[in-house]
Amino acid sequence: MMGTRRGIISGGAKTLSAAGLFALMGASGSARAAANSSQDVALLNAALGLEHEGIAAYQLGAESKLLQTPVLQVAVTFQGHHKQHRDDLVAAIKRLGGAPVAAKSMDDYAKELNAGSLKSQTDVLKLALKLERGATNAYLGIIPTLGASDLHTLAARTACDEAFHTAILANALGEAIPQKAPLFG
């Protein structure tokens, strides 16, 4: 579909939303800003979905009765960080005039995360590590796409928190320290 220039042009035309049309037609500053804001809202809502899922994952872990008390305390602390991220994202989305996505039900999250397969503390920690490591890379990966510079800061700051969680969880699971930098991105 995208193998020829004609294909790109015709394929591109099908995909152009307001943001794309504004970019091509040299829209006014305010129209372009609105399109950029709309794009930022879409990206922040995806990040918010990720935070909702992270909060649910720690909730599933906490309620699993698989975690020893000190580990449970750390899990609840990390969940608190994710709630703060959620609140930061909700505030940013509202500032841009968007509607924040709601969390799904705990049953949905349990199914999506295959919570039934968690049989030990190690299983819970491995799931948390996978989500935290992925979240670090996800936040770093959306920075080039976010339009507003204050959102770059928000994404970078949140990525640092996720990286902190990743390091703690990897250490708890006995993962070797990576020998090559960069560790993320």
Partner 1 sequence: MRIRLAPFAALFLFTAASPLHAAAPPAGDPSRGAEIYESHCGACHSLDANRVGPKHRGVVGRKAGIVPGFNYTRALKSSGIVWTADALDRWLSGPAKIVPGTAMGFVLSSPQQRADVIAYLKQQK
**E strand spans, 41-177:** none
Give the nearest distance from C-beta 174 to partner 1 in angstroms.
Answer: 18
Tokens 């994404």 locate to 155
Give the nearest distance from C-beta 107 to partner 1 in angstroms.
Answer: 13
Identify which of residues 20 and 88 has a Cβ nearer to partner 1 in the complex: 20
Which letter, b or e, does each residue of 47-82 get, where b requires 16 or more Cβ atoms within 10 Å of its Cβ?
A: bbbbbbbbbbbbbbbbebebbeeebbebbeebbebb
Q: Are 154 and 46 in contact (CB under 8 A)?
A: no
Structure token pair of residue 66:
């698989």
Identify which of residues 134 and 160 has a Cβ nearer to partner 1 in the complex: 134
Identify which of residues 70 and 174 has a Cβ nearer to partner 1 in the complex: 174
Give the nearest distance from C-beta 4 to partner 1 in angstroms.
Answer: 7
Identify which of residues 73 and 175 has a Cβ nearer to partner 1 in the complex: 175
Give the nearest distance from C-beta 44 to partner 1 in angstroms.
Answer: 9
Identify which of residues 1 and 69 has a Cβ nearer to partner 1 in the complex: 1
The count of other CB atoms within 10 Å of the CB of residue 149 is: 8
Give the nearest distance from C-beta 84 to partner 1 in angstroms.
Answer: 18
47 contacts: CB under 8 Å, gap ≥ 6: 89, 138, 139, 142, 155, 158
Q: Which residues bind partner 1 (CB under 8 A)?
A: 1-5, 8, 11, 14-20, 23, 35, 38-39, 42-43, 45-46, 49-50, 53, 111-114, 130-131, 133-135, 137-138, 141-142, 144-146
